[in-house]
Amino acid sequence: MNMHITRVGLALLLLLLGASPVAFASGHGPVFGAATPTLGRGGWSVDQAWTVRTGDDDQHQQMLKTMLSFGVTENWQLSGSLPLTMDEGRLAPARLMSAMSGGREFEMLTAYRFQRRTVGVGGRQESTLYVGGTAPFERRRHQVAIGPSLEGGIATGYASRSHYAWVGGALQHFFERGGDQFGASRLVTAVYGYRPAALRTEGRPDLRFFVEVTAEDRRAHRLGGVRQPAGARTVFVGPTTLLLHKAIGLEAGVLFPAYQRIDQASVKEHVRVAVNFAYFFWLK
What pLDDT sits at residue 27?
A: 57
Q: DSSP assignment, residue 238?
A: E
Give the residue-averaged pLDDT of 54-79: 93
pLDDT of 23 > 80? The answer is: no
**pLDDT grade for 134, boundaries at 50, 70 and 90:** very high
Q: With b meaning 16 or more CB within 10 Å and e meaning fewer, what string describes 25-52?
A: bebbbbbbbbbbbbbbeebbbbbbbbbb
Distance CA 129, CA 138 (A): 28
- Asked which of 51-55, 81-85, 176-180, 276-280 is least confident by mean pLDDT, the reply is 81-85
Contacts for 220-228: CB closer than 8 Å, 24+ residues apart: 220/183, 220/263, 221/142, 221/144, 221/180, 221/181, 221/182, 221/183, 222/144, 222/176, 222/179, 222/180, 222/181, 223/143, 223/144, 223/179, 223/180, 224/179, 224/180, 225/179, 228/263
pLDDT of 115 > 80? The answer is: yes
What pLDDT sits at residue 131?
A: 98
| Strand pairing class (222-223; 163-174) | unpaired
Q: DSSP assignment, residue 99?
A: T
What pLDDT sits at residue 22?
A: 38
Give the residue-averaged pLDDT of 114-126: 91
pTM of the full predicted structure? 0.87
Structure-model confidence comparison of residues 165 and 29, the more confident one: 165
List Cα–Cα distances, 69 to 58, 105, 145, in angstroms: 35, 17, 30
Structure-model confidence comparison of residues 13 and 230, the more confident one: 230
Distance CA 208, CA 240 (A): 9
Q: Taking the CA of residue 3 as centre, how many other CA atoms within 13 Å lie in the half-sphere pointing to its CB? A: 0
The rounded mean pLDDT for the chain is 87
Residues near 66 by Cβ (< 8 Å), separated by ≥ 6? 9, 46, 47, 48, 49, 81, 82, 84
List Cα–Cα distances, 17 to 12, 44, 208, 245, 248, in angstroms: 9, 12, 24, 14, 10
What pLDDT sits at residue 14?
A: 39
What pLDDT sits at residue 199?
A: 78
Give the residue-averaged pLDDT of 92-120: 90
Domains and CATH numbers, the chain: 3-282 (2.40.160.40)
pLDDT of 168 > 50? The answer is: yes
What pLDDT sits at residue 10?
A: 40
pLDDT of 24 > 90? The answer is: no
